[in-house]
Chains A and B, each alone.
Chain A
Amino acid sequence: MPEMTLIDAIRQAMDEELARDKRVFITGEDVGPRGGVFRATVGLYDKYGPDRVIDSPLAELSIVGVGIGAALAGMRPICEIQFADFIHPAFNQIVNEAARYYYRSNGDWNVPMVIRAPYGGGIGGGLYHSQSVEAFFAHVPGLKVVIPSNPYDAKGLLKSAVRDPNPVLFFEPKKGYRLIRGDVPEDDYTVPLGTARVTRQGSDLTVYAYGMMHFYTLQAAEKAAAEDGIQAEVIDIRTLAPLDRVTVLESFKKTGKALIVHEDNRFMGYGAEIAALLSDEGFEYMDGPIRRLTGPDVPGVPFSHTMQDFFMPSVDKIAAAIRELAAY
């Protein structure tokens, strides 16, 4: 089984879907001959032509709007937003249109589209190349939000997203594009949406994470085990909406302590939802306060490297939080 990077797995997923289903096409800024600013679509323009890999103007509202129209007409668009930070002009199209068509038309019309975007900080991108936007969209019924943390899941989840009849937001941790490597089968497999995964078994506490933070959390858990004998259970959320409540709660019932890690701002971040769910439905199993380790409530990931490091959760910060909660 070949080992590949996160970005390679994403490209392979799109390649296979383009081949499998004529209705699938890609649109976005620089996706065509340029192959995407992160090389996500390298080679696809040559392979499938300008009708299947379409450069768009610098207008996110239109990228998504055109995608919605195409989806309503029976196509399966994969719309790329170059950086998740730029998705906001398309917010109205996503939230008011894509999310509501199925409900609004009583099931007559659906919008089977994928909107992919690199998200997250740690690459020196500053305020407009580092944002996490998952909380905004996970909040809206009618949208699915998926965030892979490794190449195997990235390929399988993206394929499932393309085949899903609903609008799916697929956020990719850009810091991990080349950093995270893993084995990826070359055949056609999917990872179902709406399922979280226990990526490390433990009994002292549960750490919930996704994206780049999941990658760091696994390392932090190993550190805490080696240095302090703490056995943390780690859950990779994978699909933020709809959430796999069963896996989330089952782990909490086992350990009684929860730590949620995300790089997004703390207040009203995705972690708040998990915390509320656990305290509501897992109350009798609670053995300690439910904690969140997150980015601070600051309007943007700073450009200065020192400030960026202050903002971002890291392996050491996660390990410290694990130790503190385990000791409670």
Chain B
Amino acid sequence: MPKLGESVVEGTVSRWLKQEGETISEFEPLLEVSSDKVDSEIPSPAGGVLLKIYVPEGETVTAGTLLALIGQPGEAVPEKLADQPVAMSKPAVPEVSASAGGRGGNGGARISPVVARIAAEHQVDISRIKGTGIGGRVTKKDILAYVEGRSGTAPSPALPEELPPWERPGSGDLFKPTDDLYKPPTGRDDQPSGPASALPAGEIIPLSKMRRLIAEHMAASKRTAPHVTTVFEADMSAVTAHRKANLDAFAARGINLTYTAYFVAAAAYALRLHPIVNSRWMEEGILIQPEVAIGIAAAVDEGLIVPVIRRADELALPGLARQINDLASRARAGQLKPDDVQGGTFTITNHGVSGSLFATPIINQPQTAILGVGAIQKRVVVLDNDAIAVRPMVYLTLTFDHRVLDGATADRFMADIKKKLEEWEG
């Protein structure tokens, strides 16, 4: 399983494009893998015959796990390799295909459509149910009985609140084995600790893969980095004027000139002046990234995704605007590739588009800072000569990792962004 991203530790085999026994050439697409919200095609590392597939479709394994063997026909092939990293199976819940394959306690018999649906609705691991159908098949009756038996509460010795503190089960990451930190939650059956209790009233929306990933990432980011936010305000008159003057010319070249392009340009310029912001905390020291790669947080149906503009400091406004257009439309269409969402060194999040004035975004690990851009709003400002004027203003917030940066450094960085925007000459 290839490592599909910096912080990606596992991948799911979504589809084998070749079956055992088929010939394959080097670089020919071999399988499809999904991870970290993107799907990718993996080319074969060698030519030959696909002798054995070790990881079937639907299974999730850690990066580095051997997926298959390619060799010459007739070669001896081990059934299972001795030291495979433990395969982490996804919950039987949404991945179970209705037609073929069941697992574990299902005796290899098929999972019927209605059983699959009930399992999904109630987050049941089918392999835990004893099947009374032919071949040990779990029937509709079996799974309904199981669900009913489960929601009836088992008698509990005492509620956690009533137990003395040392008797109460621990919670939090310290009490979880490290493996569990990377395992997607397997459903209510495996909730650690505590007596079984009925669900609270209200609608439960099942967690999509993207939602889980976002949840893990955000929680981990906050746990790891001490977050501090500093707020600046910038006068967007120069940018607004420049944009107005150039909108049509850009459109004629097929580029939609958005405000985002200006913010990216200003940030890239400032990152070059303050390399300490374009960095990453490591135990060995603060790594100053050689390249400026700015990610733009984009909202998609399921949540958000951050496509990255590489070498943002080397592009002029037209180049930046064009890349932004391309990445945004591909993000919306779900067509981003792993390369598009990796390797970012800084992130900009444009919460202003939804009306927010300013916010305190969460750092996109393993970066050092994230720039939040609020709504551009006409406000009354006081000029140097104490006159009152109306100007299009924007709040810029920088949330930074206080392990790496101190307030003064962060503010100097922001001051340069502000200056660049306010003195925009194009």
Segment with Cβ contacts to A, from B133-141, B192-200, B353-361: B133-141
Bits for A93-135, please: 1 = Cβ < 8 Å to B, else 0. Answer: 0000000000000000000000000000000000000000000
Is B115 an interface position by the 8 A CB rule? yes
Q: How far is the CB of A324 from chain B (nearest CB, A)?
A: 9
Is A307 an interface position by the 8 A CB rule? no
Question: Are the C-beta atoms of B114 and A286 separated by less than 8 Å?
Answer: yes
Bits for B185-207, please: 1 = Cβ < 8 Å to A, else 0. Answer: 00000000000000000000000
Question: Are the C-beta atoms of A328 and B113 separated by less than 8 Å?
Answer: no
The main secondary structure of chain A at its interface with chain B is loop
Is B112 an interface position by the 8 A CB rule? yes
Question: Are the C-beta atoms of A284 and B114 separated by less than 8 Å?
Answer: yes
Question: Are the C-beta atoms of A327 and B133 separated by less than 8 Å?
Answer: yes
Is B122 an interface position by the 8 A CB rule? no
The main secondary structure of chain B at its interface with chain A is helix
Complex Cα distance, B244 from A314, in Å, reads 85
A 13-57 contacts with B by CB, 8 A: none
Chain A residues near B133: list those with CB within 8 A. 288, 327-328
Complex Cα distance, B111 from A328, in Å, reads 12
Q: Given A204, A283, A327, which contacts B113 in the complex, CB threshold below 8 Å? A: A283
Complex Cα distance, B134 from A288, in Å, reads 10
Question: Are the C-beta atoms of B112 and A256 separated by less than 8 Å?
Answer: yes
Is A285 an interface position by the 8 A CB rule? yes
Complex Cα distance, B385 from A255, in Å, reads 82
Residue from the set B117, B134, B140 with the largest chain A CB neighbour count within 10 Å: B140
Question: Are the C-beta atoms of B139 and A287 separated by less than 8 Å?
Answer: yes
Q: How far is the CB of B179 from chain A (nearest CB, A)?
A: 35
Chain A residues near B139: list those with CB within 8 A. 287-288, 328
The closest CB in chain A to the CB of B134 belongs to: A328
Complex Cα distance, B137 from A327, in Å, reads 10
Q: How far is the CB of B93 from chain A (nearest CB, A)?
A: 15
Complex Cα distance, B134 from A284, in Å, reads 20
Q: How far is the CB of A16 from chain B (nearest CB, A)?
A: 46
Q: Given B113, B134, B137, B141, which contacts A285 in the complex, CB threshold below 8 Å? A: B113
Given contacts A256-B140, A328-B139, contact A286 B134 (CB under 8 A): no
Complex Cα distance, B190 from A118, in Å, reads 63
Complex Cα distance, B117 from A327, in Å, reads 20
B 90-121 contacts with A by CB, 8 A: 112-115, 117
Question: Are the C-beta atoms of A287 and B134 separated by less than 8 Å?
Answer: no
A 212-268 contacts with B by CB, 8 A: 256
Q: How far is the CB of B115 from chain A (nearest CB, A)?
A: 7
Chain B residues near A256: list those with CB within 8 A. 112, 114, 140
Complex Cα distance, B139 from A328, in Å, reads 8
Q: Given B117, B137, B141, which contacts A284 in the complex, CB threshold below 8 Å? A: B117
Complex Cα distance, B112 from A286, in Å, reads 6
The closest CB in chain B to the CB of A203 belongs to: B141
Complex Cα distance, B134 from A256, in Å, reads 15
Chain A residues near B140: list those with CB within 8 A. 256, 287
Question: Are the C-beta atoms of A286 and B113 separated by less than 8 Å?
Answer: yes
Complex Cα distance, B117 from A41, in Å, reads 55
Bits for A291-328, please: 1 = Cβ < 8 Å to B, else 0. Answer: 00000000000000000000000000000000000011
Complex Cα distance, B295 from A145, in Å, reads 67
Complex Cα distance, B137 from A204, in Å, reads 15
Complex Cα distance, B117 from A204, in Å, reads 18
Complex Cα distance, B140 from A125, in Å, reads 44
Q: How far is the CB of A159 from chain B (nearest CB, A)?
A: 40
Complex Cα distance, B280 from A97, in Å, reads 83
Question: Are the C-beta atoms of B137 and A328 separated by less than 8 Å?
Answer: yes
B 122-159 contacts with A by CB, 8 A: 133-134, 137, 139-141
Chain A residues near B137: list those with CB within 8 A. 328
Complex Cα distance, B137 from A286, in Å, reads 14
Complex Cα distance, B132 from A204, in Å, reads 13
Complex Cα distance, B141 from A204, in Å, reads 9
Question: Are the C-beta atoms of B117 and A287 separated by less than 8 Å?
Answer: no
Question: Are the C-beta atoms of A327 and B134 separated by less than 8 Å?
Answer: yes
Chain A residues near B113: list those with CB within 8 A. 283-287
Chain A residues near B114: list those with CB within 8 A. 256, 284-287
Chain B residues near A204: list those with CB within 8 A. 141
Complex Cα distance, B139 from A327, in Å, reads 9
The closest CB in chain B to the CB of A255 belongs to: B140
Q: How far is the CB of A14 from chain B (nearest CB, A)?
A: 46
Q: How far is the CB of B96 from chain A (nearest CB, A)?
A: 13
Q: How far is the CB of B120 from chain A (nearest CB, A)?
A: 10
Chain A residues near B141: list those with CB within 8 A. 204
Top 8 A-B residue pairs of the complex, sorted by shortest distance between their CB atoms: A287-B140, A286-B113, A287-B112, A287-B114, A256-B140, A256-B114, A285-B114, A284-B113
Known: A284-B117, A328-B137, A328-B139. 17 other contacts (CB 8 A): A204-B141, A256-B114, A256-B140, A283-B113, A284-B113, A285-B113, A286-B113, A286-B114, A287-B112, A287-B114, A287-B139, A288-B112, A288-B139, A327-B133, A327-B134, A328-B133, A328-B134
Enumerate chain A interface residues (CB-CB to B < 8 A): 204, 256, 283-288, 327-328
10 pairs from A and B in contact (CB 8 Å cutoff): A204-B141, A285-B113, A285-B114, A286-B112, A286-B113, A287-B112, A287-B139, A287-B140, A327-B133, A328-B133
